[in-house]
Amino acid sequence: MIDRAAQKQPLIRLENVSKTYRRAGLETLAVQDVTFDVNEGDLLSIVGASGCGKTTVLKILAGLQQATGGTIAFNGLTEGRDVGMVFQQPLLLKWRTIRENVLLPAQILGLDRTKAQARADDLLDMVGLGHAADRYPYELSGGMQQRAAIARALLHDPKLVVMDEPFGALDAITREKMNLEILRIRKDTGKTFVFVTHDIQEAVFLGSAVAVLTSGPARMADYFAITLPGERGLNIKLTQPFADYVDRIYGLLGLR
């Protein structure tokens, strides 16, 4: 477990957070006793089985859901405005070009159009879609659409980018490529990311820290830093330190 007292003030601090959904007299305890920090510049992976409450935790972090118990402290972060979101599906508007899709947050938040256009073009270049700015979503592959969704999430220069199983619908090879892209984008932007996945290898490969959630309701099994030697490339997955982290998570999830 990370020694939180030794850390500088985090961007977000969750302390024993719980969430109960109440609907038509029915109560569902989705999340219980979740405690971790999102530190500036981190890529925090949240990993756990399907339905264990990862999306609920992410919505609480993004300010889209209120926790029903515990405390959550945002430090220098305006909920909503300072957060960019990427979902499992790219959710691009099919009647808008890729550039117009990336510009959507500028319209919603009332940002300066000229500046936003220049930024959209820079971001499209960064995600390797400069050549596709005037194309429509149906003309792009799934991976390209998800790159556009990432550019859109960055348009308003948010401090935090939250990603909810963004590559779950992609084939395994495209997924590996997108993982490399995330490492590069993190390096280029210096932003803070929270990345939800049910893929243990993906969580370890991308994360500078990981929160492991167990099911029904989600409880935090552990929260620890991931330090892998050297530059991260796909071949790091073949190393012992990587395998040790994966094995540790297998143990926490009761998979061995």
Ligand X SMILES: Nc1ncnc2c1ncn2[C@@H]1O[C@H](COP(=O)(O)OP(=O)(O)OP(=O)(O)O)[C@@H](O)[C@H]1O
In this structure, the strands spanning 160-164 and 43-47 are: unpaired
> Nearer to ligand X by C-beta: 29 or 236?
29
- In the complex, the smallest distance separating the C-beta of residue 163 from ligand X, rounded to whole angstroms, is 12
> Nearer to ligand X by C-beta: 21 or 250?
21
Q: Which residue is nearest to ligand X (CB)?
A: 55
For the chain, give the number of residues.
256
- Per CB under 6 A, residues contacting ligand X are 21, 23, 28, 30, 48, 50-56, 198
> Nearer to ligand X by C-beta: 97 or 146?
146
Q: Which residue has the tokens 């405390």?
A: 71
- In the complex, the smallest distance separating the C-beta of residue 46 from ligand X, rounded to whole angstroms, is 9
Q: What share of the chain is helix, strand, coil (3-state, %, to 5)?
A: 40, 25, 35
- In the complex, the smallest distance separating the C-beta of residue 33 from ligand X, rounded to whole angstroms, is 15
> Nearer to ligand X by C-beta: 175 or 198?
198
- In the complex, the smallest distance separating the C-beta of residue 241 from ligand X, rounded to whole angstroms, is 27
Residue-by-residue DSSP string for 62-120: TTSS--SEEEEEESS--TTTTEEEE-SS----TTS-HHHHHTHHHHHHT--HHHHHHHH
Helix H or strand E encompassing 125: helix 113-126
- In the complex, the smallest distance separating the C-beta of residue 68 from ligand X, rounded to whole angstroms, is 12
> Nearer to ligand X by C-beta: 48 or 84?
48
Q: Residue 103, exposed/middle/buried by CB under 10 A (0-12, 13-18, 19+)?
A: buried
- Cβ-contact 94, 71 below 8 angstroms: no
Backbone angles phi, psi at 15, to 5 degrees: -130, 110
- In the complex, the smallest distance separating the C-beta of residue 216 from ligand X, rounded to whole angstroms, is 8
- Within 10 angstroms of residue 96's Cβ, the number of other Cβ atoms is 14
- Cβ-contact 52, 213 below 8 angstroms: yes
> Nearer to ligand X by C-beta: 31 or 102?
31
> Nearer to ligand X by C-beta: 28 or 141?
28
Residue 216: name the closest of 165, 254, 164 by CA.
Answer: 254
Residue 180: name the closest of 127, 244, 243 by CA.
Answer: 127
- In the complex, the smallest distance separating the C-beta of residue 48 from ligand X, rounded to whole angstroms, is 6
